[in-house]
Each structure stands twice: as C-alpha cells, then as structure tokens.
Amino acid sequence: MEIRALFFYFLIFIIPYFLTKQLLRRYKNLPPSPSYCLPVIGHLHLFKKPIHQAFADLADRYGPVLFMRFGSRPVVLVSSPSDAEECFTRNDLVFANRPRLLAGKHLGYNYTTLMWASYGDHWRNLRRIASAELLSSHRLHMFYSIRVEEVRSLVGRLVRASESKEFGTGDMKMMFFELTLNVMMRMITGKRYYGEKSEEFEEAVRFKEIIRETFQLSGATDMADFVPVLKWLGVSRTEKKLVILQEKRDRFMQNLIEEHRTTRRLSMSEATSKTMIDVLLSRQEAETEYYTDGVIRGMIQVMLTAGTDTSASTMEWALSLLLNNPEALAKVQAEIDARTGQNRLIEESDLAKLPYLQAVVTETLRMYPPAPLIPPHESSEECTVGGFRVPRGTMLLVNIWAIQNDPKLWAEPRKFMPERFQGLGMEGNLGLVMSPFGAGRRGCPGEALAVRMVGLALGTLIQCFDWKRVGEEMVDMSGGTGLIMPKAQPLIAKYRPRKTVSRLISQCCD
C-alpha cells in the first residue's frame, strides 16, 4: 500500500515537472512577442492595412525580431538588415521551404510550382530551368527586340492619342500593364494582346481579369490558413474563390500549350525554341514523364504573374515620383539628351551610362518595393536568428519595406532622393539593406529582366515626351492593398511629344 501511495505521489510531482520543463523549453529564448495574444486567433487581431506598415510599427515597439502566433501557426517577423541577412545566409537552407498556405495548394498546383514547391530536387530543377534557360542573359538578349518594339509601340499609341491637342492625357497604370503584358506574352507565347496589330483582344480581357484576381487572392489573408478548424467547417470563402480562379487559369494556360503544340506539329521541322513555351515543350519531348503539361502550366503562370503587374507597378510609382519632383524629371531628361543625343532613341545598352536614371529606378524600388513583405518562408529545423531561438515549422516574414524605409538606416527615408544611389547602378550590391527582389536561394530569378524593362520604358518615355500632372495637386502616393504594393489611385498624367526628338518619335508611329 505504501509503495502504491509513493508511486502515486511520484506521478503527481514528476508529470507536472516534465510538462513544465517541456513548456519552458518550448518558450525558452523565443523572440519578444507583442501583447494581447488572444485564444484561437493569436495575434491576427493586430492585422491592419497596409499590413507592412502595421508590422513596421510593431517592430518599432518590440524590436527587429518578433515572435507571433497567427492562429495556431508560429511566425517570426524580421525587420532589420542584419537579422534578414542571417536568415538568408547562415540559415538560408533552413528557411528554403514555403509554408503550406491555401494559395500554394490551389494556385501552386498543390505546392509544386517554382513559387510554392518545397526545397528539394524538384524545386532545384525548376529553378535551374528558370534561371539558366528561360531568364538567362542569353535568353534575355534573344528577346531584346521584343522589349524595344513594345516600348516604341507604346510611344506610338501615346502620340496618336495626343494628336490635335496641346497635351494628351493617359491612364499610365493601364498603359504600363499593357506594355509589360505584351512583353511577357510575346516572350512566353509569341502572342501580342494590345496595340494596333493585336487580334487577341477578347483573350487579353480574360487574362487581365485572371491576373487581377490572382494578385487579389494571393495577397488576401484567409483565416483558414491559421485556424484549421475553419477549413474543416468549410467556411473559407477565399478557398472557394481560389478553386474557381485556378480552373480559369488552368484552361487559359492549357489552351496556350495546345496552340503551340499544334503549331510545332504542323511546322514539320525541329523546334526553334523561339518562345519560352517552345523551350518547355522541347524539354517535354526529351523527358515526357517529368515535364508534364501541369509542370509547364505552372511555370508559365509563375512567369506571367511575376513579370507583369510587378514591373508595371514600379513604372507607375517611378513616374508618379518624378511628376511630384519635376526637378528630378528635368535632370533625367537632360542626362538622356546629353548621353544619347537627338539622333536615336534610348537602348538598353545606354542604361549603364545613365546613372541618374538608374538612381531614380533604384530609389523607387527602395520606397515602393514590388513585394513589401518577402514571400513567406518556413524553417525546416530549429535555428537561431538575432540570438533568439526559432522553432522548426515557424513561418518567416521579412518586412523589406520596413528595412528600406527605416530612418535609422536612411536619411529622410520617405523623401524621394535619387542622389543617394548615384554611382551605384540599378543592380548595385547593398546587401539586405536594399533587397526589393528578395534574397537567398529563393530570391526572384526575374530581377535582371525587371530592371531592364523598367529602365528602358521609363527612359524612352522621358526622352520622347514632356510630362506634367493633370492639375496643381500633387499625385496621390497612397498605396493600395494586395500581394504587391499598387498605387491606391491609378496614375493619370499629361504628356506632350517633344519637338527636339519629333523625327525619332515619328519612327514609332510608322
């Protein structure tokens, strides 16, 4: 009886001891956490729009490395360059995975696309295809004529729309989107959606809507991602929308593949690999089991969504900043005139000789990075960041907007000052202090294309036109919501063809 009683008391004391020890270890040396972690939802009630600014405010209050709970999901928020660099250098392999979110399940083909796949052989193969074949320097050089033709086609459309007027008025958000979509579609499929010679208007309307929904839903916060019981109860409205959207995306991409497959079959000759789809179909013919239509569709979707709205948004922000800072606009125009003369239009090879234009683009990317929060990563094992313990399975969010707009790192961060980057170049290395395209092995493979596209388009428009605001009021610089950081109000601007380059402009109207 005494032995039984001793054993009973032993259990009473030893079980709580081990449970307490386990709990203490679980929470030992975690990063600081904001107050008011509520049952079930955790810190989700702290979500305010714009989310990157809300997170920056939390970092100012609690520190550059924060531990939070989004429902049942542990999250670490990083808002300093040194800690971000630690994540993507020493811990780069640990944070090479993506969290399992609904967007990745439905838009990422069950987490198998370049964007959403877990780190491993499949992801490495997709990354190699994207970096070495689809977006290599050689491939970008092959597609150079497409970028030039589309930029000059935009110039021609603007000129024609302003005929018989002192100043034309343009919806630059729409113009920039049509420009980048034409470039990406021609690179990927050989099709052209906008312009005088386009015959794909209805298809363009469908795809524009798909792109809009993709960014809207990818950036939406779905509670079911963080509170699993909502998924089991079937109350996730976002998931239903994601399923419908993916069905539309799938049909659209498969039609593009079938069109190319038919063309290749009828050509009766070996593929010339002129478009990205041709490259992928050639791969499919060599490795049928791996390069399924699903893999090809996923790759096309990533390229199209990553290469359209992001570059278009950067162009819109850049021109908006220049319109609000006319002295900087005049300085860019004078630099282009001095370096290229009045006998030819600007080319991509000129960009390296236009340091102020490069500085304008870099300053725009600093103030308005395409993705204010780097797409989420997840730790595959326990590690340390900033001296704090990060448990396995923790979602990592890096607030690149907070880093690039931190007054401790940048003098007057919300003031447009291209001069701070003069002499550095658009692809200069500032480490994680300035990293608008992400970092580490999962950094954006399309950075070189985006930088070329934005520089060429912005430089050509400034060379060919005089620009001004539609009224005395400053351009509204407030940001919208979504996966990227769009302007809340589309940019409407006035422009006038420059007489000094009228002969060059006329070439774009032929």
Q: Are 125 and 106 in contact (CB under 8 A)?
A: no
Q: Report in angstroms the alpha-carbon separations of 38 from 42, 214, 233.
A: 5, 31, 21
If you search the block for the tokens 């200069």, which residue do you land on?
428
Letter for the amino acid at 13? F
268 CB burial (10 A radius; 0-12, 13-18, 19+): exposed
Q: Which of these, 390, 400, 386, lies nearest to 56 by C-alpha position?
A: 400
- Region of residue 316 (left: phi > 0; alpha: psi -120 to 50; beta: else): alpha
CA 340 from centroid of its chain's CA atoms: 31
Q: Is the peptide bond before 50 cis (omega within 30 degrees of 0)?
A: yes
Q: Dihedrals φ, ψ of 466, to 5°?
A: -90, 135
In the 8-state DSSP scheme, what is residue 24? H
- The annotation status of 444 as a binding-site residue, yes or no, is yes
Sequential DSSP letters for 465-481:
EEEEESSSSPPP--B--
CA separation, residue 366 to residues 35, 194, 339, 358, 430 (Å): 31, 30, 26, 12, 11
- b/e map of 211-229 (b: 16 or more CB within 10 Å)? bebbbebbbbebbbbbbee
Tokens, residue 495: 């422009």
Cα distance between residue 263 and residue 274, in whole Å: 12
Sign of CA dihedral 313, 316, 321, 322: positive
How far CA 68 is from CA of 43, 71, 82, 272, 417, in Å, comes to 6, 9, 20, 52, 35
The Cα–Cα gap between 493 and 167 comes to: 10
- Residue type at 414? R
Query: How far is it, in rounded angstroms, from Cα 87 to Cα 394?
Result: 12
Binding residues, by number, are 444
Binding residues for heme, by number, are 444
